[in-house]
Structure 1
Amino acid sequence: MEKATALLGSLFGRGVAEQDAAKVKELFVYPIKGCRGISVPFACVSPTAVKAPDMYPLQIPLFQDTFQRIDNISVWEWCGSAFDQGENAANWFSTYLGKPSRLVRFDTESEVRPIDENYARGYKTMFSDEYPFLMISQSSLDTLNKHLTESLPINRFRPNIFVEGCEPFAEDLWQTLRINGLTFHGVKLCARCKVPTLNQETGIAEKEPTETLSKFRSGEILFSGKKARGKVFFGQNLICEESLNPKACLGKVIRVGDMVHVVKKINSSAEAAT
């Protein structure tokens, strides 16, 4: 049966048999970089209302002709211009954060932020950390929490696609996968910065989970000390193949409950890109 399935797959252009590897448990979008994520039943355009304790909801229009462009906006190594979202948004964030702040929107018409071509040539992102999608599994989180004195919620790690039903860290091995007709490629394990150490209820930085991850998810351990020394890894960065052709993904969405079909995978984390 497996040989027959593989043969049919090759006839239809996939080359290998797809395997049901997991199921989408939750989906998260992050309308504003660094702010709270929103759990959604399916991936779509979401309302742009911003809320915070003791603050009135901030409504931000999706389209407005009076936005001014601001230069020297940077994310990691990228620097460019972006659209300022106005005085109302600036005052709102300045008041809540207690320091002068402005909210800007990525200028998709004149700016391009390419993904590192060493991992995904031709793809681009906007204000996300490095890649447009991050996938983590429930079993990976459960395994980490077994090593911690106090369990952490998934929001510490800010994934977009949270899956269940697979082995711990199985997502490390997934190179090509399909979800509801969309093809994703795992291009790089996610090296974690200090963001997961920030308690989102108190704003206080803690030692965990970095201290524990360093004991079994460090570059030295995963890759036998050959690369990525001093880093810890949790989650898989993804790109969507259809994003290169907007017409190919028109009308397609990812829903909670969708199956994750693995088309291609590697044998061990040691072979993963970092």
Structure 2
Amino acid sequence: MIELDTDEKVFMGCMVSSFLVYHTIRQIYAYVHAKSQEWIPIGTVKSLHIYPIKSCKPIDLFAFKCTELGPVMGELEDRAFVLVDMATGKFVTGRTQPKLVHMECYMVDGILEVTVPGKPKVSVDLKKVVKNGQIVRAAWLMDLKQDGFDCGDEISELLCDFLGEKDHRLIFNKQGEHLYTERTCAPTDEWWDKNPVPKRRDDSQFTNLAPFLICTDASMRDLNEKMEKKISISQFRPSIEIEGCPAWDEDKWAELRIGDAHLECMAACPRCVMTTVNPDTAEKSGENQPLKAMRGFRVAPEGSMRKMYLDNPIFGVYAGLETKMELDREKKILIGCLASSFIFYHTARQIYTYINAKSQEWVPIGVVKSLHIYPIKSCKPVDLFAFKCTKTGPKMGELEDRAFLLVDESTGRFITARQKPKLVHVETHIENETLEITVPGNIKLVVDLKKVVENGRIIRASLFDNLQQDGYDCGDDVAQLLSDYIEEPNYRLILYKEGLYTERTCVPDEDWWNTPVPKRKDDSGFTDLAPFLIATDASLKALNERLDTKVTMRNFRPSIYIEGCLPWDEDKWAEIRIGDAHLECFAPCTRCVLTTVDPEKGEMSKENQPLKKLREFRLAPEGKMRKAHKDSPVFGVYAGTVKEAYIHVGQTAYARYKPSVF
């Protein structure tokens, strides 16, 4: 709840009084003048894709922003690059060079990374590309021309070698640079048959026609029923794939709403030989499929549409962002009247928002794949559908994260799976103030936690950097069980309760990130550093692509596991929202030998993997971060709580991004 002083209350009162008339009249206006067609739910978004280089392999995304020029996610923009044959001045695409569909690319911090089969990765500094200012003018359909910045010799040589061609250049259409184009899309009446074609103008990058291409899963399945060899939607290269509607429902769409995005459909998408390129083999179909099958039932109806599209069959619909509202004279008068009562409210509100709100928007980044609590530090996790994000970490019922720790009774020094890998096989359950512990080869042992606290025997533990933290001794029976299990004498299990002495309050250091580090203080149980550790499925997959022996997320022991975002996206997160929970990120998670412990075998990797591989490409950047984190590679991000709330598996996660990576 926000506390307001007197001036703020007066300010808010003024805004409300000026806004009431505006809001009331606006509601009446919307009711009377709204379009007669109602919005009908047609399905859900099945997949989203951006193709940074025209004809390249898509980047599959959990979310992107619908902009006037097309899909954008961070630095990724759809069809921002295209290959050009300098001899002809024409675009080069998968139509003539099917191998292009195997070209992979990624962008981070102004660097384009391009990989083609059998060749080392090439990086292109796009800031230098724009600064160099070498413009190439290229032509595409109907010989319409469009400019782009030449991306340099190194990437040109890579792609020429890959294709077995000469004098091909990659060019870049940089948003905001106002490069020359003849390819502004202005729909004509012939694009649709019986329905009015919207009057609009759209610029885009190096797309065929429009900013967005939308296809449906049902139409894909209907087409496959007519073919002997099935194909996937990837041969049609949509930016948005919808599931749940009837087949060919997209032929009837005039407008689409997805969340707050409003798209206007403007044309059917006529298909060409690009659809015959198999994205797995990078070869064209010998039977000219699916183009041949579609020509049997999906050509445009006779009349103006057939004359326009000829024998090119239709699959999907083109759309642009709906941003403008056409007003007749009466509506303009009404809006003018409304403006007089609204102008003060709006201006004041904008100033208030500018001063008090963070500029970054919340971006959907993925969904919660799994949640975990580790009651005893280094023990086997308890996998949960939900837990509460509290100021000290995850909690669910009586389960609290890293509430217990094993320590040497004589020195207080803590011990984990770093020294005793078999600890990862210790299982725990807590219910009715009773801790149940099971270790391989022994019967379950029960500890009465109420008596543990009542007994009040405190042991002071020494953790990282010799910082100390107190815990209640859990008794002789469990001490004997765990000492025998790890084959070390005199080890005690201790329980941390909020309010006990600790020197381990986490205060972020400005050297932990290159970007501004949030000012905060966090206490937690016996965690390494922070209340929460968040990791992503995409980063795990990116790591496993470099490893001979794959690892699982259990090697990294996160509390929150996110899927759907790009690899290493977590390096850029400033804040996270999941449901009503609000977390603030404040440090990268630097990794140690614990990641080398196989959670199934309870043994360390003899090859020191995945730590060895991570050190090859995931060390902190040179400078203050490298001095702080040394040779400990980064995997995941630490966070603390801003707002406590429950979260659960399957929820969408949203992020606010930092200005740059780390």
The structure 1 segments of at least 4 consecutive aligned residues displaced by more than 6 Å after TM superposition are: none
Q: Deviations over 1:150-184 (max 9, x none)?
A: 10011111100001000001111110111111111
What is the letter of the counterpart of residue 53 of structure 1? P
Distance 1:202 1:105 in 2: 24
Number of residues of Structure 1 aligned to a counterpart in Structure 2: 254
Q: 1:182-210: per-residue Cα shift (whole Å, max 9, x none)?
A: 11111111110111012231423431111
Instruction: Give the gaps of 5 or more residues in structure 1.
Output: 243-248
Q: Does 1:23 align with 2:367?
A: yes
Q: Select the residue among 72, 76, 80 that pairs with 2:464.
A: 76
Pair 1:103-2:493 in alignment: yes
Alignment partner of 2:505 out of 111, 114, 130 = 114
Q: Who is 1:245 aligned against?
A: none
Preserved contact between residue 41 and residue 255 of structure 1 (Cα < 8 Å): yes
Identify which of 599, 616, 622 aligns with 1:215.
616
Distance 2:623 2:468 in 1: 33
CA distance in 2, matches of 1:267, 1:14: 12
- Structure 2 CA distance, aligned partners of 1:103 and 1:215? 37
Distance 2:449 2:367 in 1: 32
Task: Provide the C-alpha distance between the structure 1 equivalents of 2:636 and 2:371, rounded to a whole number of angstroms.
Answer: 14
AA in 1 matched with 2:625: K
Could you report, residue by residue, the CA deviation over 1:69-126 in whole angstroms, capped at 9, with x for unpaired residues?
Answer: 123x111031132210011111111121111221001142232330034255322222
CA–CA separation in structure 1 for the residues paired with 2:439 and 2:634: 31
1:126 aligns with 2:532: no
Instruction: Determine the C-alpha separation between the residues in 2 that align with 1:144 and 1:114.
Output: 32
Alignment TM-score, normalising by the size of structure 1: 0.84
Q: Which residue of 1 aligns with 2:636?
A: 235
Distance 2:609 2:480 in 1: 34
SS at match of 1:125: coil
8 Å CA contact 1:28–1:40 kept in 2: the answer is yes
Using structure 2 for the length normalisation, give the TM-score: 0.36
- Change in CA separation of 1:123 and 1:227 when aligned onto 2, cut-off 3 Å: closer
Matches within 5 A, 1:107-256: 107-112=497-502, 113-118=504-509, 120-200=519-599, 201-206=601-606, 207-219=608-620, 223-224=621-622, 227-228=625-626, 229-242=630-643, 249=644, 252-256=645-649
The DSSP-based 3-state class of the residue aligned with 1:151 is coil
- Note the residue ranges of structure 2 that are not aligned, 5 or more in a row: 1-65, 68-259, 262-349, 388-395, 400-429, 510-516
Q: Report which structure shows greater RCO (CA 8 Å, sep ≥6).
A: 1
CA distance in 2, matches of 1:54, 1:79: 33
Partner SS state of residue 442, structure 2: coil
Tell me how far apart the structure 2 counterparts of residues 75 and 202 of structure 1 sit (CA, whole Å).
Answer: 22
State the superposition RMSD in angstroms: 2.4
Distance 1:59 1:253, change over 3 A: farther
Answer with 1 or 2: which has the greater Rg. 2
Alpha carbons 1:55, 1:96 under 8 Å: kept: no
CA distance in 2, matches of 1:80, 1:17: 39
> In terms of mean alpha carbon deviation, does 13-22 or 126-135 score higher?
13-22
Classify the secondary structure of the residue corresponding to 1:20: strand
Deviations 1:186-235 (A, max 9, x none): 1111110111012231423431111111121112xxx1456314221111
Deviation at 1:267? 4.2
